[in-house]
Amino acid sequence: MGESLKDIGDRIRRTGPILFSYLLSSGSLALAALSQLVTFAILGRALGPTEFGLFVQISAVTAIAVQLCGLGASDCLLRSVSREPGSYASLLGHNLLLIGLSGVALVIGGAVAMISWSRMGSGVTVDISTLVLLLVGNVVLVRVILLVETVFLSLGRVHAANRAVLGFALARMGTAALACMMFRVSTLSEWALWQCGGNLVYAMLGAAWLAPLGRPRLAILREELQAGLLFSSQFAVRAVRSNVDLLVISLFTPIETVGSYGIARRIVDSSYLAIDALNRLVYPRLARESRDGLHLALPAAKRALGAALVLGTATFLALFTLAPWLPALFGRDYHDLSFFVRCLSGTILLVGAWAAAIDLLGASGRQDARAWIMNGANLLGSVAIAAATWLAAPIGTFVALYAIDGAIVAASWLVVFRFARRSRLHPVPPAQASLAPS
């Protein structure tokens, strides 16, 4: 009995810090999600359905572009620095160079693409200077800000990472409140200037936080490019899949409907933060535990799966219950908002079900397998969503979304179990040796 009590006490001591870290992480992300919701409410009321619908369309493009900006170098930094902190300077420089080079190409290409798309769709156009400001602010500067969080997570400074996330959300909310409530901003062109300026100020603050950690060593690490490209491709293709429905809907429905659907997607996407809060803590641990074999980290991934399902269920129930009150927050013009949120809220459970498996593949260095799963499902899914939206929006859209996430759940766990069996026979997988930090 004494031994059993001792084991229980040891387990509590081990679990306590992890639980406390998760509560802080989830708390910061929950507050960040709430502030994003308030920001969208402020913008939705100030800009009105037409201008806000156009903003949602452009945001769909920037959501894709921000995943390409930096070419996935942030994952290399998180994975390598968590194992070997001495690689920080070279990996930070690697990130900054790739953000700058890819950012220029994305801003130019995105502006040209959006000019054509806005004319083809709703008939509402936007000037090139507004597009450039939105792309710089929502792609390049946001990627720099996200890099600050990644650096702190890689060094195990979770409190600083939480501060960076929450601070950015509060800064965006403060910028929107100042612009729309005090200076009466009511057009997209005016908001583009405010948003870009606010993100620039916060990016400079993030740079000041990183300054004491040491100067970056500016050089592109060629050996990390392939892993980074595989990583970024997964999120870019997922972003395409996550926004293709919105872009297709914008071609066939009034711009006001696009605004309601865009808000619903943003609310549901923000609700994933409950699961993200868990994953951002688990990922560095999975990277360390899988260093000598993926199978060694499988128990931790299974525990993360159970926790994610509990969080996903709670989030789904909360969204489904609160959905009828959302039009009162955003404005009565967004009358389809409640229906859209309720239909989309169940996807949170499926995302929680595949997130742990996908993170284990990435943390163990199997970006190739992770990329095949995510890119294959999301590329095929993008076509399926576009077709379903075109043929039977919005019901067809919802059916396609659930089918795709369900397919990712099945594929990711089947691949994880296969690699785990192989890993038990080969303690150090070949992929691990090639991706180990120098």
CA–CA distance, 292 with 176 (Å, rounded to integer): 48
Sequence-distant (≥ 6) Cβ neighbours of residue 71 within 8 angstroms: 98, 102, 225, 228, 229, 232
- Residue 88 near residue 81, CB atoms below 8 Å: yes
pLDDT of residue 8: 42
Q: What distance in Å separates the CA atoms of residue 140 and residue 127, rounded to the nearest whole number?
A: 20
- Which tokens sit at 403? 């089918």
User: Which pLDDT value is given to residue 430?
Assistant: 45
For the chain, list residues with pLDDT below 70. 1-33, 117-125, 252, 255-256, 427-438
- Written as one letter, the residue type at 324 is P
Retrieve residue 362's tokens. Answer: 């990435």
- Give the span between the Cα atoms of 59 and 76, in whole angstroms: 26
Q: What is the pLDDT of residues 319-357, one digit of tens each?
A: 999 889 888 777 777 778 899 999 999 999 999 999 999
Give me the pLDDT at residue 19, please: 55
Name residue, tokens 């909360």: 318
What pLDDT does residue 352 have?
92
pTM above 0.95, yes or no: no
